[in-house]
Amino acid sequence: MEAEINLSESLEDYLEAIFNLIKENGSARVTDIARYLEIAASSVNQGLKKLNQEGLISQEKYGPIKLTKSGFKAAEKIYCRHKILYIFFNKTLGVSKKNADQDACSIEHALSEESFSKMVEYLIKNNYIEKKNCAFEMNTEKEEVKMTAEQLMLDKIKVGSKVEVVKIESKGRLKRKLMDMGLNRGAKVEVKGKAPMGDPIEIKVRGYSLSLRRDEAAEILVKEV
Amino acid sequence: MEAEINLSESLEDYLEAIFNLIKENGSARVTDIARYLEIAASSVNQGLKKLNQEGLISQEKYGPIKLTKSGFKAAEKIYCRHKILYIFFNKTLGVSKKNADQDACSIEHALSEESFSKMVEYLIKNNYIEKKNCAFEMNTEKEEVKMTAEQLMLDKIKVGSKVEVVKIESKGRLKRKLMDMGLNRGAKVEVKGKAPMGDPIEIKVRGYSLSLRRDEAAEILVKEV
DNA sequence: GATTAGTTTTAGGTTAACCTAAAAATTGGG
DNA sequence: CCCAATTTTTAGGTTAACCTAAAACTAATC
């Protein structure tokens, strides 16, 4: 059905780490991934090159790591598998969280589609998860797992919401300018309004009101708070 | 509890292959293992060297591959894991035999003790297997899986049983002599009687009656028919 | 006992996935 | 703007697990 890319286990691990880090922090840096997987940063770098070649991430030298459309899809799939396995082991077999997680990690790469979908069937029947479109939405422990880990840029944020700056992706002069405005990492930003065409965008940072051009805002990576 | 040897996945695969081949054929040769695992014979050879170093098999140059006590134990454990996983996937989840077997193969190396024993618990509760000592005896499909894969030598065979010659392990003159007696690979042998101390042993091969010294019989690898 | 077919071993390579150490670039503060 | 700390990249290993091709050995027949 799809253009199947056959990733090695370790490349799948990298992708999954990126997915989880973006979900948690809004960005995934080389060192974050290295810490997450407990391997050297230089090894991560090599892995990222391969993911880049496969078109799953896009990354310029020293630039931020972004998932492409297909990368996001692939990562989401792996994430789903992990989650399903985790729930299966932890909830239905009663395996400790630690081991369930660890086992999910080692198995997620290897299990056949059939076994996987039989597990899903079983979990649906026993009401641990609900089927929804082609992905799965978990409703265990009342915690809904949102399946979004795409990078959010400031120009895409709805008026009225509050976000936190993760990174400024531009370089040089523009970056300097934005940072001088107080848009540093960790800065809380509220989107006050947008002009009809979405340009300019009115924001409030550290008490000051600012107006940004849309392409400037598009350089600012944020996360929900 | 035990002296844990940490085997790599591929060494576990070799060990399992040896176990299964001995169980089926009475012996495991390099080419058999290579065919079984679908890899080159020279790769198997390298693997066997490592198993030898770990003390799990004993093998002289060009000689037969024998499991040591600890090798047998390790192989049996892997075999058990495989079987348990296979039953779990096939019987309780309804996964096809082919995929259940394949998945068992890829998972058996990675799964934590805890998950494994939780699966066993589940299978016992649902009556798919019965606990017996520390190993497990499967009683699915009325077929009892015997947990013996140790090499049988002709001197250990009970009076009255019929066996088939798999290999003569000695070399040179003695080997020649035994082969001239008709004890070639595939020859059917019936053990007619043993003297009080087990020496000599009376056998019948290809219609002839022969008498063997015990240490001669100990060189003849046989399998049950 | 010599020959041929088959098996096992050796020799020498490749690849993926890691590593350490050091160089290059970026970040953030003064 | 400059400097120190941090991050990212490069350069140059190592190891396990495979491979092919050829050599050494064994088995089985004539």
pLDDT tens string B181-218: 778 887 888 888 888 887 788 888 888 888 888 888 88
Pick the residue with more confidence: A225 or A196? A196
Residue ranges per structural domain of chain B: 1-150, 152-224
Q: A13-17, A41-45, B131-135: which range is least confident on average?
A: B131-135
Nucleotide nearest to A14 in CA–C1' terms: C17
Residue-level pLDDT at A19: 95
Straight-line distance from the first to the last Cα atom of chain A, in angstroms, rounded to the nearest whole number: 37
Mention the CATH class of domain A152-224: mainly beta
A31 touches strand C (CB under 7 A): no
Question: A178-188 burial string, b = 16+ CB within 10 Å, else e?
Answer: beebebeeebe
CA A191-A196-A199 angle, to 5 degrees, is 60
* pLDDT value at residue A216: 82
Q: What's chain B's average pLDDT?
A: 84
- Reference B45, options B56, B27, B61; nearest CA is B61
How buried is B216 (Cβ within 10 angstroms: 0-12 exposed, 13-18 middle, 19+ buried)?
Answer: buried
Check pLDDT > 50 for residue A136. yes
pLDDT at A152: 80
pLDDT for A47 equals 97
Range of lowest pLDDT (A166-175, B88-97, B100-109): A166-175
Kindly determine whether residue A111 and residue B112, on different chains, have CB atoms separated by under 8 Å.
no
- The CATH number of the structural domain formed by B1-150 is 1.10.10.10
pLDDT tens digits, residue range A199-210? Answer: 788 888 888 888
C-alpha B71, offset from chain centre = 10
pLDDT over 90 (residue A213): no
Q: Which CATH architecture has domain A1-149?
A: Orthogonal Bundle (1.10)
Percent of chain B at pLDDT > 70 equals 88
In this predicted structure, what is the pLDDT of residue B169? 78
In the predicted structure, residue A134 carries a pLDDT above the cut 60: no
Compare B221 and B17 and report the one with higher pLDDT.
B17
CA distance B32 to B82: 20
> Looking at the predicted structure, is the pLDDT value of residue A155 above 90?
no
Of A103, A112, A119, which has the smallest distance from its Cβ to B111's Cβ? A103
What is the percent of chain B with per-residue pLDDT over 90, rounded to a whole number? 40
- For residue B144, give how far its alpha carbon lies from the nearest alpha carbon of chain A (Å): 25
What pLDDT sits at residue B144? 42
* pLDDT surpasses 80 at A125: yes
What pLDDT was estimated at residue A147?
54
pLDDT over 70 at B173, yes or no:
yes
User: Closest residue to D11 by CA to C1' distance?
Assistant: A42
And the tokens for B191? 């053990």
Higher pLDDT pick, B50 / A198:
B50
Q: What is the per-residue DSSP string for A8-69?
A: -HHHHHHHHHHHHHHHHHS---HHHHHHHHTS-HHHHHHHHHHHHHTTSEE--TT---EE-H
**Residue B187 DSSP SS3:** coil
Q: Which of B4-18, B37-51, B119-133 has the highest mean pLDDT?
A: B37-51
pLDDT, tens digit, 9 for 90 and up, residues A57-76: 988 889 889 899 999 989 99
Task: Report CA Rg, chain B.
Answer: 20
Backbone angles phi, psi at A186, to 5 degrees: 90, -10
Over residues B172-179, mean pLDDT: 77
| Mean pLDDT of all residues in B124-131 | 80
Question: Do residues A87 and A128 make contact, with C-beta atoms less than 8 angstroms apart?
Answer: yes
Which one of B103, B110, B122 has the shortest CB-CB distance to A93? B122
| pLDDT value at A28 more than 80 | yes
- Closest-CA residue of B relative to A113 is B99
Residue in chain A nearest B122 by alpha carbon = A93
When pLDDT is averaged across residues A12-29 and rounded to a whole number, the result is: 93
